[in-house]
Amino acid sequence: MNKATRKAVIAGNWKMNMTPSKAKEAIEKTAALVSGKNGCDIVLCVPFVDIDAAVTAAKGTNIKIGAQNVHFEKSGAFTGEISADMLLETGVEYVIIGHSERRQYFGETDTTVNQRTKAALAAGLTVILCVGEVLEERQSNITDEILSMQTKLALAGVSAEEMQKVIIAYEPVWAIGTGLTATPQQADEACGLIRSVLAGMYDEKVAEATTIQYGGSMNDGNAAELLAKYHVDGGLIGGASLVPEKFDAIVTAAQ
Ligand code: PEP
């Protein structure tokens, strides 16, 4: 398994944008643009309330729908939370876990990221697991240690078989929503580091088979260069995924 055989995945993270009616419109428009572009998997991760409209609009297209978080308990007194079974029944196939905005603003920890990951995998969802360093960590030359620690803690107790349903998104926090992008070399080095951590935790086969995305201000202008790198198998895209033409250009760059 190598870059040529690993599955490229272009995933959009809509964050807290789009009402259900806007979601329907955006997915119909995006679907028309990306139709027939089957050289990568295409996912849109939408707000919970948009899922129904998104799943309906994506039916029969090459777009799959994801959520942006999931709770680790099956049910119970967890006001405001959504379980993996609830997501599955609405037609969601993917879920983002550990996004830096969840870690920064909503108290997400490596422990809860691990709990959510295990619950999502047990239910049969594909996990897009986010890891990434903040600027001070990069400036202190501890990026490798941070990525290694976040990856190991998030995947503690996840089997080699379950890794077939794990995508890792390397998202340097300083590049998310800032317009600052990691250079292709920085992205490749960090994704390569994560791959070597997987080789240590599992084996070379798992490491080489795992899709590792780059995320952080990826857009129609810089995607081709980033996606050409050996260890970069796709992208997690925030802002540019809200604009169908921009998202389509990134999908095209991944073909
Ligand atoms: C993200 O939300 O994961 C992201 C990478 O956002 P942006 O592309 O806007 O930087």
The CA–CA distances, whole Å, from 253 to 41, 46, 69, 113, 128 equal 13, 22, 27, 31, 20
The yes-or-no answer on residue 89 being catalytic is no
How many domains is the chain partitioned into structurally? 1
Pocket of ligand 1 (CB under 6 A): 13, 15, 171, 176-177, 215-218, 236-240
Domain range enclosing 32: 9-253
Residue 237 lies in a domain: yes
Instruction: State the catalytic residue, choosing from 71, 108, 171, 231.
Output: 171
- Among protein residues, the one whose CA lies closest to atom 8 of ligand 1: 238
32-69 pLDDT, tens digit per residue, is 999 999 999 999 999 999 999 999 999 999 999 999 99
- Mean pLDDT in the chain? 97
Q: Is residue 249 included in any domain, yes or no?
A: yes
Distance CA 47, CA 69 (A): 9
Q: Is residue 122 part of a domain?
A: yes
Query: Does any domain span residue 145?
Result: yes
CATH number for the domain spanning 86: value is 3.20.20.70
Domain presence at residue 165: yes
Is pLDDT at 3 greater than 90 in this prediction? no
In a domain, 247, yes or no: yes
Give the pLDDT mean for 227-251.
97
Residue 86 domain-assigned (yes or no): yes
- What number is the average pLDDT over the span 82-94? 97
Q: Measuring from atom 6 of ligand 1, which residue has the nearest CA? A: 238
- Answer yes or no: is 225 within a domain: yes
Please compute the mean of the pLDDT values over residues 202-229 and round it to a whole number: 97
Task: Report pLDDT digits (tens) over 153-200.
Answer: 999 999 999 999 999 999 999 999 888 889 999 999 999 999 999 999
